[in-house]
Chains A and B, each alone.
Chain A
Amino acid sequence: MDAINPTRAVELPVQEIDVHTDTRDILAHANTGARKRGFQDWLICDVDAHHVETVSWHELVEYIEDPVIRHQAMLFHKEKLGGASYGLNGDMGLKYQDVGGRIPHQASLREKTEPGVHRDVTLTRRAMQSLGVDYMVLFPTPMLTLGLHPQPEMEVFLGRAYNRWLIDKVLSVDSRIKTLAYLPFNVPAEAERTIGEFSDKPGVIGFCVPSTRHKPIHHNDYMRSYAMLEERGLPIAFHAAYHWQDQSLATINRFLGMHALGFVWCNMVHMTNWILNGIPERFPKLKSIWVESGLAWIPFLMQRLDDQYLMRPSEAPQLKKLPSEYMRENCWYTTQPMETTNMKALQLTLEMINAETQLLFASDWPHFDFDLPQEIYDLPFLTEEAKRNILGLNAARLFNLDPKPVKVL
């Protein structure tokens, strides 16, 4: 069959992507897309990406401050069988994000990594290279439900250990990897201590409150933390998640439904309290970021709160303007998972939130609903200036980052 010497097709080295496939192979098309769009000259900040901190839990527990708890945790990992992570709460086996194995990178990244470099540094660098990202802000994954922990002190122990471990093992190694440090918000005094201790640590560009929690974020106990963050010019992020212990969502039986609502509901509740209790009036320079709830919820909440507020202004006496005006002037939003099945709705959403200044690109890699920078670049209704702002320049201003691209595609 070689008689006429035809052009030969070349078999791809990866025929079927699985949990062992290298991130660079999984995202090869993303890298091609980034080059094609000239992202080398664009600053691209990914304000929400993840690592699986429990892979390194045996390392992390060595950073627990309390010597007794630390000892117990280290013994737990040395002597117990099974895959549980010491002290961690959460939905345990109710983790169906990979759709029954259909989305391997969500299930696990078991690719080979480089000796002498921490796994999470290597995986993050590969993701940044593939997506065309200059700076990537890392968040934990299972720890995002620590706010529901029955032992408030355990949130403090583990949150502080995570911050110290991440700075030591990851952030100190690569200045392009950043984080919004974990705030143990169920113990306000410890949240203040965390802000004081970690504000100037390498790679820390703000602080994160995981949104799955039942403590009201407008409680007087938190005002000192907000004042400390405002004084330092550091943003506070509310990172969404889901959990099946929420009684308001308890009837949902499909993960699709739980994920669709859970990741939005927690931030809708917090945002409602944040605005109606006048936190932006009390701390006008405090910048809040609403992370991983997508965007479609925002126009709904703006309209809903505006309508109700005008009928009942006596119940929100601190407000000097409409709730929606605080939401578009004092709040920032990350893009992912950006809802795109109705582009007119998306366009209106971006107009309503003043996306040119308030919207921050986020990939959420390596999760199943991750977005690529090109999703912003390809939007037909944005100017190039708006695209550049959303993809990186808004984040550069918010986090005081150098706006010059540093990546090599």
Chain B
Amino acid sequence: MTEYLVCNEADIAEGRRKVVQCGHREIGIFRIKGQLHAWHNSCPHRQGPICQGHIYPRVVEPVDKQGQVRLLQYDEADQHLVCPWHGYEFNLETGRCNGTDRLKLFPAKITVRDGALYVLL
């Protein structure tokens, strides 16, 4: 296993990212709700640069007691990473694809030691 030094852990602020190349692989590290999450920069759909996509909250459509709908809303607690190639959306914390359990982001191992952030491959 090789350790790749990325940056100081504190350099990645809430809602921000660092997308890095580690040898032949690309890894994106994101901070969401204070926690760091790392994913391979390869969309499970068609290997697009998922970690370089925009972040959007999940879109929900509340249904009232009469079964009617009026407005769309953002669920700010459920942040999605969106593949810039084709729009596939994945939960940034779990890697789960919005729409199917058949696709999931590929996780990467990271560790923090003495304030420094490392990717382990």
Contact surface of A with B, Cβ cutoff 8 Å:
1-2, 6-12, 14-18, 26, 28-29, 33, 99-105, 368-370, 372, 374-375
Chain A residue at smallest Cβ distance from B18: A11
A160 CB to closest chain B CB (Å) equals 35
B1-40 interface code vs A (CB 8 A; 1 in, 0 out): 0111110100000000111111000110000000000000
A-B contacts counted at CB < 8 A amount to 89
Partner of A7, one of B3, B48, B85: B3
Complex contacts, B49 vs chain A, CB 8 Å:
17, 26, 28-29
Partner of B19, one of A11, A26, A368: A11
A7 near B4 (CB under 8 angstroms)?
yes
Complex CA distance for A229 and B47, rounded to whole angstroms: 41
Report if B46 contacts A (CB, 8 A): yes
Complex contacts, B27 vs chain A, CB 8 Å:
9
A7 near B18 (CB under 8 angstroms)?
no
B70 CB to closest chain A CB (Å) equals 13
B5 near A15 (CB under 8 angstroms)?
no
Complex CA distance for A375 and B48, rounded to whole angstroms: 13
B103-117 interface code vs A (CB 8 A; 1 in, 0 out): 000000000001110
| A14-B20 contact given A6-B5, A104-B84, A375-B46, CB 8 Å threshold | no
Complex contacts, A9 vs chain B, CB 8 Å:
4-6, 20-22, 27, 119
B121 CB to closest chain A CB (Å) equals 10
B87 near A368 (CB under 8 angstroms)?
yes
Q: Is the interface of B mostly helix, strand, loop or mixed?
A: strand
Partner of B82, one of A1, A2, A8, A102: A102
Complex contacts, A8 vs chain B, CB 8 Å:
4-5
Complex CA distance for A285 and B49, rounded to whole angstroms: 44
Complex contacts, A105 vs chain B, CB 8 Å:
84
Complex contacts, B47 vs chain A, CB 8 Å:
29, 33
A10 near B53 (CB under 8 angstroms)?
no
Q: Looking at chain B, what size class is its interface with the partner chain? A: 35 or more
Chain B residue at smallest Cβ distance from A101: B54
A6 near B42 (CB under 8 angstroms)?
no
A66 CB to closest chain B CB (Å) equals 42
Complex CA distance for A18 and B56, rounded to whole angstroms: 14
Complex CA distance for A378 and B78, rounded to whole angstroms: 33
| A12-B19 contact given A29-B49, A33-B47, CB 8 Å threshold | yes
Complex contacts, A369 vs chain B, CB 8 Å:
86
Complex CA distance for A17 and B4, rounded to whole angstroms: 24
Instruction: Give chain B interface residues in 78-97, CB to chain A under 8 Å.
Output: 82, 84-87, 89
B8 near A1 (CB under 8 angstroms)?
yes
Chain B residue at smallest Cβ distance from A27: B85
| A17-B119 contact given A7-B5, A368-B87, CB 8 Å threshold | no
A12 near B4 (CB under 8 angstroms)?
no
Complex CA distance for A9 and B116, rounded to whole angstroms: 12
Complex CA distance for A42 and B82, rounded to whole angstroms: 32
Q: List 17 A-B contacts (CB under 8 A).
A: A1-B114, A1-B115, A7-B3, A7-B5, A7-B22, A9-B6, A11-B18, A12-B20, A15-B19, A17-B49, A29-B42, A29-B49, A99-B87, A103-B84, A103-B85, A104-B84, A375-B46
Complex CA distance for A149 and B8, rounded to whole angstroms: 59
Complex contacts, B85 vs chain A, CB 8 Å:
26, 103, 370
**Which of A8, A17, A104, A370 has the most B CB atoms < 10 Å from its CB?**
A17
B110 CB to closest chain A CB (Å) equals 10
Chain A residue at smallest Cβ distance from B3: A6
Complex CA distance for A370 and B46, rounded to whole angstroms: 11
B59 CB to closest chain A CB (Å) equals 9
A332 CB to closest chain B CB (Å) equals 24
Chain A residue at smallest Cβ distance from B55: A16
Instruction: Give chain B interface residues in 54-84, CB to chain A under 8 Å.
Output: 54, 56, 82, 84
A102 near B53 (CB under 8 angstroms)?
yes
